[in-house]
Amino acid sequence: MPIKLRDFPRTHFNMPGNAACPGCPETMGIRYVKMALGDKAVLVIPAGCSSVIQGISPKSGINFPILNIVFAAAAAAASGMKAGFEMLGRDDVQVVVWAGDGGTADIGLQAMSGAAERGDDIIYICADNEAYMNTGIQRSGATPYGAWTTTTWTGKKEHKKNIPFIMIAHDAPYVATATVGYPQDFIEKIRKAASVKGFKYIHLLAPCPVGWRFDPALTPEIAQLAVKTGLWPLFEYHNGSLRISSFSRMYRNKEKRTPLEVYLKLQGRFKHLKEDDVKVLEEYIDRLWAWLDLLEKASHPSDTAKQLVKESK
Amino acid sequence: MGYKIEEPQTLFIAPVSKPAPGSVGKTGTWRNEKPVINEEKCVKCLLCWLYCPEDTILRREDDMVYIVYDYCKGCGICAKVCPVDAIEMVPER
Amino acid sequence: MAIKTITGNKAVAHAAKAARVKVIAAYPITPQTTIVETLAEMTEHGELDAKMIRVESEHSALAATLGAAAAGARSFTATSSHGLLLMHEVVWWTSGARIPVVMSVVTRAIGPPWNIHVDHNDIWDQRDSGWIISIAENNQEVFDLTLQAFKISEDPRVYLPMIVGLDGFILSHTVAPVDIPEQEKIDNWLPERRQPYVITPESGIVMGNLATDENYYMMRYSIQAAMVEAKNVIKEIDSEYGEIFGRSYGGLVECFHCDNADYNIVIAGSWSGDAKEAVLKLREEGYDVGVMRVRYFRPWPDEEMRGLLSRSKGVLFIDRSISFGGKGHLMTEALTNLPALANLPAVRGVIAGLGGVDVVAEEFYELTKKFIEEVEEKGRFYDPLYWHIPMVHREKYKPRLPGYELTCYKR
């Protein structure tokens, strides 16, 4: 169902006066989670920017009930909460993990993998700002090739770890990518996730003005450019079937993509990149799309599987 | 319910909070530039409201938007996403 | 009432079941494994209406337990040794959150080298974390303590998580008769779960965001205040349990002929039984000796220990753990009260049984008798690190521990 902005109530979806930096994509993202789920959700937040964004007790700058938890345990704590709610007869509560790329791709990967394998009924959202921003821009497993960080001064030598693909490999019933550049797409995906039983994963690209070195006014634009250059394809994987989302569909065609330089030039973290580096990234994009193509073709379930899925609903 | 919330009898301080505005104070003081809305130009598309990371752009009953300057950090996203250039970033004194 | 002849681990599972836990999250580790297995069986067979989360690590086990408890469900976990160490970060997080949770710790040595046998270094390693820490002597006490743990932990005067220790293999895998009271009686005694807050859409509670340093300080003060209060709660629950179920253990410590004895052994865990046996023999021979068995390591039984040290001629501490570069844990804790003592007894701290080395009643007998004879001969002395080195190694290792008088007894 298309989202009409006018239909949203005139309430606070986030709490202003929090500790986020100006132009922060995480506060944007958390607002969209609130818009999507309303008052029926609790968040589990591991260490990261979002633990700080909340600000200082007794107030909290994020408009959700939250269980803050140690860095490596977000998904596990959420599994426990969901089990608690279920045992108390509260199936109506959505338990949502809101974690950064460190808490997801690196230190929290094991707990998330466990929860996904168990099929625990939670929504896991990774707000990916592509480095450890909270501690001051150190590289993470999700930092892209070439990016400057305070632990990769000449640019990262390795590619970004592809977490959505790893979650697809877990056979999670719902996996999607999104970005703060297209809030409606993100909100729709959260709502879709909420309607699916089992482990749901949404990977939200969250361009960070401080860590990526760009003007804070450009957060949405950079996020949109990541999609338009083909670097961040938006897709949904639902019950074994992969579909490229509408905002990304036209970029299957390489010709239609915005040149990658446009995206890179706006960001200080890429300013040292040479032509060869750009090529490496372009090849990465091609490989990414080739994978998506394969997955899309391979993922149309057989009639039997479709039937089983239907029955399980 | 399966549980009962019972107030402790001794000195008890739990590390808990409630969502509220201003958890680090009036963040409007962080601002270098201030977004100013030109109501005549505004087409009420609500994009600024949608993209504002802070929830400091609010909607009136008629969906005309206004800014809560106490908390606006002046990131400039609203001015950037406005399709009709109805928001201008004005330097603070 | 039903007498079951079961292992300590089964006693744990039966206690968790009797407490009607709603969520269990645990990761198998020797020698805790059969707790997980039994609870999985109970939940799958419908004997226990609980959700079992088969987590992928102990770190996740306690995090899931805490998550469920924060949602309002009575929840339980169990671990041992390396599992407990892996979980240590969440151990602190749980007590800091002030959310009642119960955890069994089947005590086991820490590697390397790998060693699955009993040792108290894993459980005492949680000493500073703000958990109530208890340790049982036998399978019956394992059951009783685990059941009581829910009531203690969920008492509004306490609101702290609680560990119940049981010695690996010696209790965990050894069968003994355990009296399991009728469920109705337990239900009447154990109230519905109480907790200070829940994290639900309605409560709007946010747990754990930043606080000012001053508020953080006061939260720490509050945990200590709860620990002090817990002493009364523990004694109260121990005696009411005695009235209703017929078993009372004496609160923070169990006093075995220790009221007036000149000489006393301070010890914790399953081998207390062997120490008691030795004491009975010594008493028959006319030695005035008793045992103070530490049941609760946190809160530490300050008053009881102070009384014991003040009235004894000699106190023999027997530790199954060592704080490297320091001393045994029981002795270290007890002697923090020194300035408050009226009289100073002779003190010897024995380090024994690490990594499951067996120490039998005859050895306790010899150790104690030798200690008493030395005190009678020399008067007061302080011998904090008396290594009760295993017989096979005594000659070899004796000259290699400089700085301490190595006084091993010889058979």
ipTM field: 0.94
Using pLDDT thresholds of 50, 70 and 90, give the confidence band for residue C404: very low
Those residues whose C-beta lies under 8 Å from the C-beta of residue A278, and which sit 6 or more positions away, are A260, A261, A264
Same-domain status, C239 and C325: no
Q: Answer with the one of C210, C227, C245 that is the final residue of a domain.
A: C245
**C410 found inside a domain:** no
Tell me the chain B residues in contact with residue C160 when contact means C-beta distances shorter than 8 Å: none
Tokens of C282: 């010594």
**Chosen from B52, B73, B90 to mutate, greatest number of chain A CBs within 10 A:** B73
Average pLDDT over residues C85-105: 98
Three-state SS at A313: coil
Which of A41, A60, A81 is nearest residue C209 as measured by Cβ atoms?
A60
CB contact under 8 A, C63 and A65: no
Determine contact, residues A15/A64, Cβ cutoff 8 Å. no
B-C contacts (CB, under 8 Å): 86
Residue A228, CB-side half-sphere exposure with 13 Å CA sphere: 14
In-domain check, residue C183: yes
Considering only CA atoms, which of B90, B88, B92, B93 is closest in space to residue B39?
B88
Angle between helices A74-87 and A109-118 in degrees, nearest 10 = 30
Of C66, C73, C90, Cβ closest to residue A87: C73
Residue A61: its chain B contacts at CB < 8 A? 19, 21, 23-24
User: C202, exposed or middle or buried, with CB in 10 Å at 0-12, 13-18, 19+?
Assistant: exposed
Per-residue tokens: C325: 């570069």
Question: In the predicted model, is pLDDT for residue C403 greater than 60?
Answer: no
What DSSP string describes A123-191? EEEEEE-SSBTTTTSB--TTPPTT--BTTBTT---SPPP-HHHHHHHTT-SEEEEEETT-HHHHHHHHH
Is pLDDT of C354 > 50? yes
Instruction: Kindly give the pairing relationship between strand C206-207 and strand A66-68.
Output: parallel
Residue-level length of chain C: 411
In a domain, C326, yes or no: yes
C291 φ, ψ (degrees, to nearest 5)? -130, 130
Which residues in chain A come in under a pLDDT of 70?
1, 300-313
Q: Check residue A309 and give its pLDDT.
A: 59
pLDDT tens for each residue of A141-180: 999 999 999 999 999 999 999 999 999 999 999 999 999 9
C132-135/C162-167 β-pairing:
parallel
Query: What tens digit of pLDDT does each residue of C129-153 get?
Result: 999 999 999 999 999 999 999 999 9
Token pair for A30: 């958390």
Element (H or E) spanning C110, and its range?
none
Residue A20 DSSP symbol = P
Mean pLDDT, range C380-409, rounded to an integer: 70
Domain B39-91 has CATH 3.30.930.10: no
In this prediction, residue B2 has a pLDDT band, given cuts at 50, 70 and 90, of: confident
| Residues in chain B whose Cβ is within 8 Å of chain C | 1-19, 23
8 Å CB contact of A111 and C93: no
Look at residues C51, C172, C185 and name the one whose alpha carbon lies nearest to residue B2: C51
> Has residue C172 been placed in a domain?
yes
Q: Tell me, what amino acid is at B46? A: L
Give the total number of structural domains in chain C.
Answer: 2
Task: List C-alpha distances in Å: C23 to A10, A79, A155, B8, C93.
Answer: 38, 11, 46, 24, 19
CA distance A149 to chain B (A): 23
Spatial contact of A45 and A70, defined as CB atoms under 8 Å apart: no
Burial class, A195, CB count within 10 angstroms (exposed 0-12 / middle 13-18 / buried 19+): exposed
pLDDT, tens digit (0-9, with 9 covering 90-100), for B27-70: 999 999 999 999 999 999 999 999 999 999 999 999 999 999 99
Given CB atoms, is C14 within the 8 Å cutoff of chain A? Answer: no
Residue C102 has pLDDT above 80, yes or no: yes
**Residue that is written with structure tokens 């505005």 in the block:** B21
Q: What is the 3-state secondary structure (H, E, C) of B15-84?
A: CEEEECCCCCCCHHHHCCEEEEECCCCCCCCCHHHHHCCCCCEEECCCCCEEECCCCCCCCCHHHHHCCC
Cβ–Cβ below 8 Å for B80 and A18: no
Would residue C411 count as lying in a domain? no
For C294, phi then psi, to 5°, come to: -75, 115
Residue whose pair of structure tokens reads 């003592």 in the numeric block: C341
> Which residues have CB under 8 Å from A28's CB, separation 6+?
A180, A183, A206, A219, A220, B51, B53
Whether residue C64 and residue A39 make contact (CB cut-off 8 A), yes or no, is: no
CA-only gyration radius of chain C, Å:
21
Domains of chain A: 14-312 (3.40.50.970)
Q: Which of C20, C65, C209 to mutate to test the interface with A (most CBs of A within 10 A)?
A: C209
Distance from CA of C94 to the nearest CA of A (A): 9
Subunits with 3+ Cβ pairs within 8 Å of A are B, C
Query: Using the beta-carbon criterion (under 8 Å), do A69 and C64 form an inter-chain contact?
Result: no
Q: Six-digit token pair at B65? A: 């938007």
Q: What is the mean pLDDT of residues C193-208?
A: 97
Would C236 be classed as within a structural domain? yes
C406 inside domain: no
Q: Decide if C194 and B5 are in contact by the 8 Å CB cutoff.
A: yes
Predicted local distance difference test score (pLDDT) of residue A61: 97
For chain A, how long is the longest CA-to-CA vector?
59
Of A42, A83, A111, the CB nearest to C201: A42
Is there a single domain that holds both residue C203 and residue C300? no
User: In A, which residues are within 8 Å of C49 by CB distance?
Assistant: 87
State the pLDDT at residue A308.
59
The answer to whether residues C143 and C97 belong to one domain is: yes
Judge if C229 and C258 occupy the same domain.
Answer: no
**Residues in chain C closer than 8 A to A62 (CB atoms):** 206
C288 Cβ contact partners less than 8 Å away, ≥ 6 residues apart: C260, C261, C262, C263
Whether residues C226 and C329 fall in one domain: no
DSSP-derived secondary structure letter, A56: B
Confidence of residue C409 (pLDDT cuts 50, 70, 90): very low
Instruction: Decide if B14 and C226 are in contact by the 8 Å CB cutoff.
Output: no
Q: How close, in Å, is residue C331 to chain A by CA atoms? A: 33
Gap between the Cα atoms of A25 and A74, Å rounded: 20
Separation CA A221–CA A233 (nearest Å): 15
Peptide bond into C345 cis (omega under 30): no
Q: Is the sign of the CA dihedral C121, C123, C126, C132 positive or negative? A: negative
The verdict on a CB contact (< 8 Å) between C23 and A54 is no
C92 and C233: one domain? yes
Looking at residue C337, its pLDDT comes to 81
**C162 and C296, same structural domain?**
no
Q: Are A28 and A34 in contact (CB under 8 A)?
A: no
> Sign of the C-alpha dihedral, residues C230, C232, C235, C239?
negative
Collect all residues from B whose CB is shorter than 8 A from any CB in A. 1-3, 15-27, 30-31, 45-46, 49-51, 53-56, 58-59, 61, 63, 68, 70-77, 79-81, 89
Chain-centroid distance, C-alpha B2:
38
A110 in reach of chain C (CB within 8 A): yes
Q: Does A58 sit behind a cis peptide bond, omega within 30 degrees of 0 on the bond before it?
A: yes
Q: What is the reported pLDDT for C393?
A: 80
Average pLDDT over residues C225-253: 97
Tokens standing for residue C104: 């069994």
Q: Are C24 and C16 in contact (CB under 8 A)?
A: yes
Contact predicate B73/B92, CB 8 Å: no
Q: Using the beta-carbon criterion (under 8 Å), do C194 and B4 form an inter-chain contact?
A: yes
**Residue C91 falls inside a structural domain:** yes
φ, ψ for residue C372, nearest 5 deg:
-60, -45
Find the radius of gyration of the CA atoms of chain B: 19
For residues C111 and C42, state if they share a domain.
Answer: yes
- The pLDDT, as a whole number, for residue C410 is 37
Q: Assign C406 to helix, strand or coil.
A: coil
Split at pLDDT 50, 70, 90, the class of C398 is low
Decide: C189 and C255 in contact? Cβ < 8 Å.
no
User: Residue C301 CA to chain centroid, in angstroms?
Assistant: 12
> Which residues in chain B are closer than 8 Å to A55, comparing Cβ atoms?
23-24
Q: Do C199 and A60 touch (CB under 8 A)?
A: no
Torsion B17-B18-B24-B25 (CA) sign: negative
Quote the domain boundaries for residue C156: 2-245
Q: Are residues C288 and C308 in the same domain?
A: yes
Q: Min CA distance, A40 vs chain B (Å)?
A: 15
CATH code at C327? Answer: 3.40.50.920
The residue out of C245, C271, C290 marking a domain boundary is C245
d(CA C89, CA B7): 27
CA torsion sign for C193, C194, C196, C198 is positive
* Residue A282 identity (one-letter amino acid): E
Element at C396 (helix H, strand E): helix C394-397
For residue A311, the surrounding DSSP H or E stretch is helix A303-312
Residues of B in Cβ contact (< 8 Å) with C193 = 2-4
What type of residue sits at position C332?
T
Question: What's the gap between Cα A226 and its chain centre?
Answer: 13
pLDDT at C340 over 60: yes
| Chain B residue with minimum CA distance to C210 | B15
- Bond from prior residue into C299 cis (ω within 30 degrees of 0): yes
Name the token pair of C257.
């002929």
- Domain's final residue, options C212, C245, C278: C245
C260 pLDDT more than 50: yes
Mean pLDDT of the C250-276 span: 97
Distances (CA, A) of A70 to A269, B51, C79, C378: 29, 30, 19, 54
Could you tell me if C217 and C310 lie in one domain? no
| Beta sheet of C346-351, edge-to-edge order | C253-256, C289-294, C263-267, C314-319, C346-351, C382-387
CA triple B52-B55-B58, angle to 5 deg:
95
- When pLDDT is averaged across residues C75-88 and rounded to a whole number, the result is 98
Residue C411 pLDDT class (50, 70, 90 cuts): very low
Amino acid at position C384, single letter = P
Which residues are CB-neighbours of A2 under 8 A, at least 6 positions away?
A: A184
Nearest to C254 by CA among C104, C140, C351: C140
Cβ–Cβ contacts within 10 Å for residue C391, how many? 12
